[in-house]
Structure 1
């Protein structure tokens, strides 16, 4: 039977271990106090009337000539007030408003949110009477405390929808196929692409249609690439790209690609050039050896020496006859 002293010692040790185990948890739960000047505000679409459920972006729909309304929530969980500025922009990125961004109007262009407070800012989207039917993209840009947040606004203008998509500027560079997608309709499209390449002796590349991880807005041009790792060493290929999207949008384009192993050809051409040069040099040497000038034709000899040499040759010829 364990002694009371040993039991008390084990109990004290257990209490100490529990205290040590709980200390980091308590520290992690409370965490270090944020810096008084830290900016931790957030901006997102206001929650629905029930107060449950969050929206990743605004979605508004209406015919041309209507005014649509919604609310933006700016939350400041910090310990000091924060001031933010609001503006509309086309798409995302806060690069100015020349289209959809001009239709956005917030109730205030500058808002000061007290500490531990949420401010709901109403805004309107005035759809012009002549707006093109289809999908339009905009954003509410919120700036403050050295931060900038874009809250996306997706707008569907009522009317007939046209889905039109083209693929252009197809080129092949190394092991990559480059191309451009152009949305020529008035609906946002999620394109699908199929790739095929045929060489002199058969098919070199065949990829069935798959959905690309992009959304192409009306009027937008997107430059994309397609990897082609197993390019042939020597061939002439026709590369064909076919794109499709919902609503009957489709487009097709081709490009020619010639694959030549330049390094071996360059080395071979260099060897041929060197061999041709060496052969020409050897030929000139042989010709120069057979065409050596006679002693009588060597420069620097006087007329008397030439006459004496000629008489000697004649005498030699007479003796031989």
Structure 2
């Protein structure tokens, strides 16, 4: 900030706005809240801007109060990191939030923190960055655990809006469909730029099959996103059973060959004796 702006913020922060009644017995002797009695601090503007608001700190005690100021989850800046509020007085403390140029449009959250006398008050900060709204979702890193059948995947919000994803799962084997789960809502929301790695149970995968698993994720306003993974299932009992079938088939074939050979020999002998 420029020197004049910083001086103005400091002057405003220390401005006293009249006497305040003492707190009733048992109540905290100081409070912090957004100015004008709002339930939370709200700021709106484009990326690359500096937005300002005001925090009201009320000292209902009988002695001066020094509070420490800070922010969390958003780039909150105060003219001074601490402010002293005289007894039974309210001070309005300006603060600024810098919205970087690469901040995606949409809703963002933060917290203004006020600390004094081993007590902390947190004020909810809601920031809306203006700009075009884009809903975009991808499914990545799909993996199938062939031991348990568990599907592992990652959802990524590549847009500028908060998404509530749905997921559908389908698996095709050699002989047809072996898994078909229609789309259902997932218990999560994805903020812009965030990713979530999740697992999907498959308690009864095929014992012996080669499958293609397809995951389809959808969200309101976003185009469907799909990803596939290949997996070959071959459990021990299934392999043992397959080996037995192959041996039985081989044995049956050998028996048929021998039988046809004996039949030809008998026919040849009968022809020679006639």
With the shorter chain as reference, the TM-score category is 0.5 to 0.7
Q: Which has the higher contact order (CA 8 A, sep 6+)?
A: 2
Counterparts of 1:146 and 1:258, CA distance in 2: 60
Counterparts of 2:204 and 2:59, CA distance in 1: 54
Counterparts of 1:265 and 1:77, CA distance in 2: 79
- Out of 34, 50, 53, the residue aligned to residue 46 of structure 1 is 34
- Out of 163, 168, 171, the residue aligned to residue 135 of structure 2 is 163
2:251 maps to which residue? none
Counterparts of 1:116 and 1:260, CA distance in 2: 77
5 Å matches for 1:1-321?
46=34, 49=36, 51=37, 54-55=39-40, 58-71=41-54, 85-90=68-73, 101-102=74-75, 104-106=76-78, 108-110=80-82, 121-128=93-100, 130-135=101-106, 137-140=108-111, 142=113, 153-173=125-145, 174-262=148-236, 265=239
Counterparts of 2:195 and 2:50, CA distance in 1: 29
Distance 1:143 1:244, change over 3 A: same
Distance 1:161 1:206, change over 3 A: same
| Greater C-alpha Rg | 1
Q: CA deviation at 1:152?
A: 5.4
Q: CA deviation at 1:84?
A: 6.2
More helix by share: 1
Q: CA deviation at 1:168?
A: 0.2
Distance 1:75 1:213, change over 3 A: farther
Q: Please tell me whether the aligned partners of residues 112 and 125 of structure 2 are also in contact (alpha carbons under 8 angstroms).
A: no
Give the number of aligned pairs: 215
Q: Please tell me whether the aligned partners of residues 104 and 192 of structure 2 are also in contact (alpha carbons under 8 angstroms).
A: no
Counterparts of 1:115 and 1:176, CA distance in 2: 62
Q: CA deviation at 1:160?
A: 1.9
1:144-171 Cα offsets, whole Å, 9 max, x none, are 5888887654432222222221110001
Distance 1:193 1:268, change over 3 A: closer
Q: Please tell me whether the aligned partners of residues 133 and 161 of structure 1 are also in contact (alpha carbons under 8 angstroms).
A: no
1:15 maps to which residue? none
Between 196-205 and 114-123, report the one with greater CA deviation.
114-123
Structure 2 unaligned blocks of 5 or more: 1-25, 244-274
Q: Please tell me whether the aligned partners of residues 208 and 238 of structure 2 are also in contact (alpha carbons under 8 angstroms).
A: no
TM-score, structure 2 as length reference: 0.58
Structure 1 unaligned blocks of 5 or more: 1-33, 91-100, 270-321
Distance 1:88 1:264, change over 3 A: same
1:43-66 Cα offsets, whole Å, 9 max, x none, are 7x638x4x4x845xx543223454
Distance 1:118 1:139, change over 3 A: farther
Distance 1:125 1:256, change over 3 A: same
More strand by share: 2
Q: CA deviation at 1:179?
A: 0.7
Counterparts of 2:240 and 2:68, CA distance in 1: 63
Counterparts of 1:181 and 1:125, CA distance in 2: 30
